[in-house]
Amino acid sequence: PEFIVHTIAVHNGRKFTPVYITQDTVGHKLGEFALTRTFRGHKGQKAAKAKVKKP
């Protein structure tokens, strides 16, 4: 409870990610909020059509 309304820098393996501590984040581990993988999105319609073989 003493760290509520503080920002802590958590290392995710590459860089430090700022994590803002709120009442909802109390009880969780800090690593849950410093994501280690970047989501670049699923392949779009063009990539899906290119894979389909046309007879």
Q: What is the pTM of this model?
A: 0.62
pLDDT means per 10 residues in the chain (55 residues)?
91 94 92 90 74 66
For the chain, domains (ranges, CATH) are: 1-40 (3.30.860.10)
Q: Is 45 helix (H, G, I), strand (E, B) or coil?
A: helix
Cα 30 to the chain's mean position, in Å? 12
Q: Is 17 exposed, middle or buried (0-12, 13-18, 19+ CB in 10 A)?
A: middle
Per-residue pLDDT, 49: 66
| Token representation of residue 19 | 């994590």
Per-residue pLDDT, 20: 94
Beta strands in the chain (DSSP E): 7-11, 16-20
Per-residue pLDDT, 1: 74
Per-residue pLDDT, 48: 60
Q: If you count DSSP H runs as helices and E runs as strands, how many of each does the chain have, helices first?
A: 1, 2
Per-residue pLDDT, 52: 67
